[in-house]
Structure 1
Amino acid sequence: MQPLLYCPALGLCLVLTGGWAHALLCIAAMLCLQLAVGAPFLMTNPGAYLARAFGGPGDLQHAWSVNWRFLPEDIFQKRSFTVGLQVMNVFLLAWFAQTRWIPGGFLSRSIRRWTTTGLLDDSTVIAMWFTCNFVGVACLRTVHFQFLVWYFHSIPFLAWYALQPDRHRGWPWVLRCILVVAITLGVELPYLITGHGLVRGPDGRQWESPGVPKASGSLLLQAVHWLLLLLLALRCSGSQAAEAQVEKSKVS
């Protein structure tokens, strides 16, 4: 499932750099490869494969939820809660695409060309991919311990990209570097804050288990997640304003 979180950014990069013809050709190649890999499973039990292979419904226990442990379990289990997170995911991706990733937004010519030969610099591509993945993780219905490997490597980059310590000197540089470290630790610490909780086995039996996420840790994780998303949004708008000011000064 995790690679799917990168797909919106990947598709957007393909469209911006090669146009829709290039993007559709690449997507078709990916689908053919996936069908070839999944052929043995599709021929044996296609329903189960399509339902489970890409992160379909599973036994998502509230007790093991690192990100939503602080919520009452009845809210966590509601269908409306899941739908709300999915809507939030789509909204955030659309907002970043419209205001930050696509020059001129969805109505611009850059996103409507059938063929083109555009270029994106490395930092922009990495920021788009990592932000897209991070938005997906932040809006997941539940994040378990192993999900940390999905995005822990991207947190230092995203924090540095958002705060831009390299554009400052003196104390502002020091404070921004400290905040980069604090955000990185703020994401990883909740996965280490554990206690005892009631868990359920595959057979329905319940027992008290150690190593269960704590509500305080999930609150910290949510706070850091949304702080970083806010900083990413402000960073982009701030940098665009600065670049516009530079261009204005050049003209004058």
Structure 2
Amino acid sequence: MASPASLPVRAVRFALDVANGRHALSKLVAPLLFLADAVLCVLVIWKVPYTEIDWVAYMEQVAQVASGERDYTRIRGGTGPLVYPAAHVYIYSALYRITDSGKDVLLAQQLFGVLYMAALALVMACYRKAGAPPYVFPLLILSKRLHSIFMLRCFNDGFAALFLWLTIYCLQRRAWRAGALAYTLGLGVKMSLLLALPAVGVVLLLGAGYATSLQLAALMALVQVLLAVPFLVVNPWGYLGRAFELSRQFLFKWTVNWRFVGEEVFLSRGFLLTLLGLHAVVLVVFLTTRWLKPARKPLPRLVVPILLGKSPFTEQEQRAISRDVVTPHFIMTAILSSNVVGLLFARSLHYQFYAYLAWSTPFLLWRSGVHPVLQFALWAAQEWAWNVYPSTSVSSGVVVGVLAVTVSLVWLGTGVSSERIRAAAAKDAAAKR
């Protein structure tokens, strides 16, 4: 019989075993949290007042499409012109019909509750496939802002986030074509998913091979064209200019991330060019030192053949890289880190952009290898900052600070040592003999 003094020790040991996946009950953590969040979603829809921001504008815009308008430059709503790609129009056109021309907001909220739970199921499946421990999972359901984005605002970012996680889910299971299709459909909802494109390209190159990745790139482009055909035939430049407007002007009053620099700096061209330059530099650093490093080839031997229209790998090298390098946690780490790097250097983040960050940060912090206490502290700081409305110099500083720390920790924690690379190369050489 255990002594009373040993009971707390055993309880702590039991809790740690469950939290770290070392107990049979660890498998129940994700399902129980999922059910708890389902109840929470019901309570949010039932008890928390709906806040109108973009829903009416979405409905006004798709109503014009339903009436026959196909010129993107003429489609407007109460908040301004239509600035999202064609998949957004099709999704909200369906919602327009289902919700009685957008009048049944409660039904829309319930549908977005289902959307949230579907996305959460994908997120949890991706986390489990990547080997994340159970103690990380509570962070996936505790975000106040994330529930608000889906069920109290009905933003299109919920659909884009769903497709982003569906992309990761498919690629983790080596369903390359399905993953590419999911990604391009998400991009067809909102161009924010362009931030993940560099890593998606690397994953397809290393996992599916050079020839297949080119075919999948063509497939993604073709889907974008097919989605946009009704609008392209009327005003192609108007569609491209509005749906993928890279030069869009952002208002200082709505920024969540750069308020602390002041309006004059925020609106300056120099600040924009600095962010673009830093984004490019950090992406190149991740590309060369993290995402492509496990391929065990110098960068010129990777880039030159690609520029010449050839695969940089032999058939045997390709199979080995796809098998040994492109693992579920590599895929998830690369895509989420690419996305977070993009968010760090974005000119302006609005509150709905948290849909792309809230479920990414817990995994990246765990993947960085820092102590769980620091993981939870950084997550809490991030959650606090994104719930300050309107944003302040302090809250925006915390937003940028946590993003910068996350990116730095991921880069530091996911390094591939030269010893490991040499060991893998020796293994390949032995296999050839």
After TM superposition, is the score higher than 0.5? yes
Of 52-61 and 105-114, more deviation after overlay is shown by 105-114
In the alignment, structure 1 residue 183 sits paired with structure 2 residue 378: yes
| Runs of 5+ unmatched residues, structure 1 | 165-175, 195-211, 248-252
Q: Which amino acid aligns with 1:99?
A: T
The aligned residue for residue 213 of structure 1 is: 391
Tell me how far apart the structure 1 counterparts of residues 220 and 421 of structure 2 sit (CA, whole Å): 39
1:184–1:242 Cα change, 3 Å:
farther
In the alignment, structure 1 residue 63 sits paired with structure 2 residue 256: no
1:101–1:25 Cα change, 3 Å:
same
User: CA offsets per residue over residues 157-207 of structure 1, 9 Å max, x none?
Assistant: 00000025xxxxxxxxxxx1111111212222111122xxxxxxxxxxxxx
Tell me how far apart the structure 2 counterparts of residues 71 and 105 of structure 1 sit (CA, whole Å): 39
Tell me how far apart the structure 1 counterparts of residues 403 and 228 of structure 2 sit (CA, whole Å): 34
The aligned residue for residue 167 of structure 1 is: none
What TM-score do the two structures reach when normalised by structure 2? 0.47
Query: Secondary structure of 1:227's partner?
Result: helix
Structure number with the bigger relative contact order (C-alpha 8 A, sep ≥ 6) is: 1
* Contact 1:190 1:217 (8 Å CA) reproduced: yes
* Contact 2:367 2:414 (8 Å CA) reproduced: no
Query: Secondary structure of 1:153's partner?
Result: coil
Q: Which amino acid aligns with 1:149?
A: A
Query: Secondary structure of 2:349's partner?
Result: coil
Query: Secondary structure of 2:360's partner?
Result: helix
Query: Secondary structure of 2:348's partner?
Result: coil
Structure number with larger C-alpha Rg:
2
Tell me how far apart the structure 2 counterparts of residues 57 and 244 of structure 1 sit (CA, whole Å): 41
Tell me how far apart the structure 2 counterparts of residues 230 and 96 of structure 1 sit (CA, whole Å): 10
1:105–1:13 Cα change, 3 Å:
farther
1:14–1:40 Cα change, 3 Å:
same
The aligned residue for residue 352 of structure 2 is: 146
Tell me how far apart the structure 2 counterparts of residues 121 and 7 of structure 1 sit (CA, whole Å): 18
Q: What's the % identity of the aligned pairs?
A: 27
Cα displacement (A) at 1:151: 1.8
1:155 to 361, 368, 380: 361
2:335 to 129, 154, 157: 129
1:144–1:122 Cα change, 3 Å:
same
Cα displacement (A) at 1:57: 3.6
* Contact 2:195 2:338 (8 Å CA) reproduced: yes
Tell me how far apart the structure 2 counterparts of residues 105 and 149 of structure 1 sit (CA, whole Å): 36
* Contact 2:333 2:364 (8 Å CA) reproduced: yes
Tell me how far apart the structure 2 counterparts of residues 16 and 43 of structure 1 sit (CA, whole Å): 37
Q: Which amino acid aligns with 2:378?
A: I
1:48 to 238, 257, 267: 238
The aligned residue for residue 197 of structure 1 is: none
In the alignment, structure 1 residue 35 sits paired with structure 2 residue 225: yes
Tell me how far apart the structure 1 counterparts of residues 271 and 303 of structure 2 sit (CA, whole Å): 36
Cα displacement (A) at 1:56: 3.3
User: CA offsets per residue over residues 68-99 of structure 1, 9 Å max, x none?
Assistant: 01112111111121121111111111111101
Cα displacement (A) at 1:3: 1.6
Query: Secondary structure of 2:288's partner?
Result: helix
Tell me how far apart the structure 2 counterparts of residues 245 and 107 of structure 1 sit (CA, whole Å): 19
The number of equivalent residue pairs is 218
Query: Hey, which of these two has a bigger chunk of strand by percent?
Result: 1
